[in-house]
Amino acid sequence: MTLRDYIQRKNGVAMGQAGSLRNNLHRSLGAPSFAHFWTYWNPIFGYSLGRFVFKPLKRFLPVAVALVLTFVCCGLIHDAVTVLFRGFTSFFFTGWFLLMGLATLASKLFRQNHANQRWLIRALANLSVIGICFLITLYMTRWLLG
């Protein structure tokens, strides 16, 4: 599947067309589980991570391990970008994405499904997981750094 096809499938509109961002936010935030959230969020990055990180890793690792390592890789990429602007890294994003990867895995393992809930409830649930992972990472970063 090409990137163009992938974005069309995830957003419901072609890459760069009007409504792409709106559809992306509506579908990802309103996803029935935190695991489904990530299937819609940032389709360009998701396509690249899936193709170049997750798929190769799952050839020789259990899928759960490949999933979490893909999130760690994503965090490392985000941390690398912060180095360009700050001149140093705290590995904050790596820790945050590790936690979100574990939350995604938990969502799959416990078969989280809020499909019967209103969109707003699903969005609040997904944003809550992101926020809780962020706060835990913030706390752990401050605790580790003293």
**Better-predicted residue by pLDDT, 21 or 138:** 138
Q: Residue 146 has what pLDDT? A: 63
Q: Please give the model's pTM, rounded to 2 decimal places.
A: 0.90
Section 32-46 average pLDDT: 91
**Chain segment 50-100, per-residue pLDDT in tens:** 999 999 999 999 999 999 999 999 999 999 999 888 888 788 999 999 999
Cα 21 to Cα 34: distance, rounded to the nearest angstrom? 19
Give the three-class secondary structure for 88.
coil
Cα 16 to Cα 120: distance, rounded to the nearest angstrom? 26
Taking the CB of residue 89, how many other CB atoms lie within 10 A of it? 16
| Phi-psi category of residue 69: left, alpha or beta, with phi > 0 → left and psi -120 to 50 → alpha | alpha
Q: How far is CA 144 from CA 16, 114, 139, in A?
A: 42, 35, 9
Section 121-138 average pLDDT: 97
